[in-house]
Amino acid sequence: MKIKATYFLDVISSWCYWAEPAWAELQERYAEQVEFDWKVALMDKTGLPTSREQHDWFYQRSGLMMESPFKLRSEWCDHTEAEFIAPNAVARAAAELGTKDDRVRLAIAHAALREGKRVGEWEMAAAIGAEAAGLAKKELLERAQSPAIEKQLREETAEWHALQVTQRPTFVFESEIGDKAVLSGFARAGALTATLDSMIADQKAYEIYAVHFGAAPA
């Protein structure tokens, strides 16, 4: 039996960017015990900065907290958008076209947060995503702009809202014995690995008990 791990993110979220090393560590450490997936939780006005000054302040604070040797760049954002569909849609579309790993969304996030590229623009997001995925830009852009992809993003975001949390990243761990853990706002691996270790140990105990005593009586 495997634990299911779902990572809710917005591609251009700085805290999700800071959490990526932890997510990569989980995938490597628990490759045989956990089934990994990611979903989009679109940020709205409540989670977006309203000015360049405010944006840079947030980046400086998170960079200091994460002990980063570099600063994030804010010029990718024009501070008028209520949400950023394009980068998230391109990442989801690439997954639908077969690139199910993290490379496309990581490439888009890097282009925005480290290089300042305006990934909120469809053409820019699609060009970066296509190069990362090895896909034709036209095909990727058409899929990303399809009603089906936006519908999926809205549904995934609604699923995140149903968790009644406020922070991205959010990690949801579910086991086959009914345990469920929701960790929202964590960007370091420690709390995540501790939770998974505990859930895996409990699930293994159930498996061992079943070997010795069988299924529960009706």
Q: What is the pLDDT along the chain (218 residues), one digit of tens a residue?
A: 789 999 999 999 999 999 999 999 999 999 999 999 999 999 999 889 999 999 999 999 999 999 999 999 999 999 999 999 999 999 999 999 999 999 999 999 999 999 999 999 999 999 999 999 999 999 999 999 999 999 999 999 999 999 999 999 999 999 999 999 999 999 999 999 999 999 999 999 988 888 898 887 88
Q: How many CB atoms lie within 10 A of CB 52?
A: 13
> Longest C-alpha distance within the chain, in Å?
64
Show the tokens assigned to 36: 């990994």
Q: How far apart are CA 65 and CA 205, in angstroms?
A: 37
Query: pTM of whole model > 0.85?
Result: yes
- HSE (side-chain half, CA atoms, 13 Å) at 163: 24
Per-residue burial over 188-209, b if 16 or more Cβ lie within 10 Å, else e, is: ebeebeebbeebbeebeeeeee
Q: How far apart are CA 136 and CA 163, in angstroms?
A: 36
